[in-house]
Amino acid sequence: MSWCEGVKEPRVLVAPDPGSSGNGLARTILLRHPKSGNATQYLFVNGVLQELQWFKNLYGSWFLGDYITEDGRLYLSTPIDPVFIMLPVFDEARMKKGDEPGKFRQLDEILFIDRFPDYQQLFSTVENCMQVVCDVKEVGSSKFFRLDDSKVLRWLCYKVYQLKETLLKLDKNYAVQGEKETLMDAVSILGEYLKDEPWLKLLCNHLKLNILEVNGKAHTSVDGTNSSHLCNDIQERSDEKKVSNAIAKKGGRQAKKIKMETESHNIKDMFTRATRKKS
């Protein structure tokens, strides 16, 4: 039996080996993206949350054993701080009204989210990491959490300055530009994981930055790269199929045929066909 038999669209993913360290557990989980709220796939490997991104040159394919796959993208999993993912969840859970701080909630209540049961797999991870941005009360053996705006702002500022220092070390070009420009670049990168209201606006006001300029930098960055989430890519393909089926049902004519990805082909078969044609 071939290694890729039954696999419709093989892909190349660079990710941590779950068996080399830790408990050897790795799985994909479906969560909401912290900025857009869209359903997005993440990897959960040995208790570490990883986001999925991809990169592709203009032309390229992969040779996988005796097979070639048309999808030449390189998929990468990189660690992401779970606090970014949980900020909108904990913000909604406290049910804040006006200037009131909101309510304390138990963690199992907070992580019970309709249509997203995978949040509950992060219970232990969230219990440890969210204490840095939450007020916590213990009643007997139970813990109650409530997001605290001042702690969130302090944590965000730490992330900004940490990223700012990293940018200066990674790229010498940052050394020749102004400190405010570098600061704005750092905030715009973090802004890809933050809702404008309240967190990005709160952060920009504190650092005396224009949120419109920060968002402008973020949009430029997104347009100039090939990184995205695997789930978004799969969703786009699903939407293409829906559009194609809808046009077929209505008897209409499609302006341009959508090119769908095909299955991988055996390289040996390709050379065999070429030999037959030559003879």
Q: What is the pTM of this model?
A: 0.74
Q: What are the pLDDT tens digits along the chain (279 aa)?
A: 444 555 567 778 888 877 666 666 788 999 999 999 999 999 999 889 999 988 887 788 888 877 788 888 888 999 999 999 999 999 999 999 888 999 999 999 999 999 999 999 999 999 999 999 999 999 998 999 999 999 999 999 999 999 999 998 888 888 788 889 999 999 999 999 999 999 999 999 999 999 999 988 765 544 333 334 444 444 444 444 444 444 444 444 444 443 444 445 555 554 554 445 555
The DSSP symbol for 21 reads S
**Residue 106 buriedness (CB in 10 A; 0-12 / 13-18 / 19+):** middle
Tell the residue number behind the tokens 């045929």, with chain if given.
257
CB atoms within 10 A of CB 227: 14
CATH number belonging to domain 12-147: 2.20.25.530
CA 205 vs CA 157, 158, 166, 181: distances in Å: 12, 15, 23, 16
